[in-house]
Amino acid sequence: MSGAAMERINGQRRAVRILLLLAGREFDGVRNAELARALETSAPNITRDLKTLIDEGLVERLPTDPEKVRLGPRMVQVALAYQRHLDAVRRRVEELEQRYTRTPQEPVDVES
């Protein structure tokens, strides 16, 4: 694999890890330097990765401190859509469970 291909893979992996590191830090955010330390990479790599994530709406800068980033609205929308889907699946499973586990009625005697 070429060096450029490896760098793309590493960049993708860093981007995913950035998202994971930002989870739960929506109020206080994280500085680039903290992300670089946590991921053992350079600040320019983090800056490049964050630009892509910000452009896609997955990450945003804190309005109160533009030096920090947090998960963006699109990431929250993805999470909420997933939650709605899980809720719908749960309701369907519960319907099926009720349908197939209720006590059968006594058979009707048709010859009487």
Both tokens of 54, joined, read 């910000």
Q: What is the pTM of this model?
A: 0.71
Q: How many CB atoms lie within 10 A of CB 112?
A: 4
The whole-number average pLDDT for the span 22-47 is 93
Reported as a single tens digit per residue, the pLDDT across 45-95 is 999 999 999 999 999 999 999 999 999 999 889 989 999 999 999 999 999
Q: How far apart are CA 22 and CA 28, in angstroms?
A: 10
Task: State the residue for tokens 């680039």.
Answer: 32
Selected residue with higher pLDDT from 102 and 12: 12
Predicted pLDDT of residue 6? 53
CA distance readout (Å), 27 to 19, 33, 73: 15, 18, 13
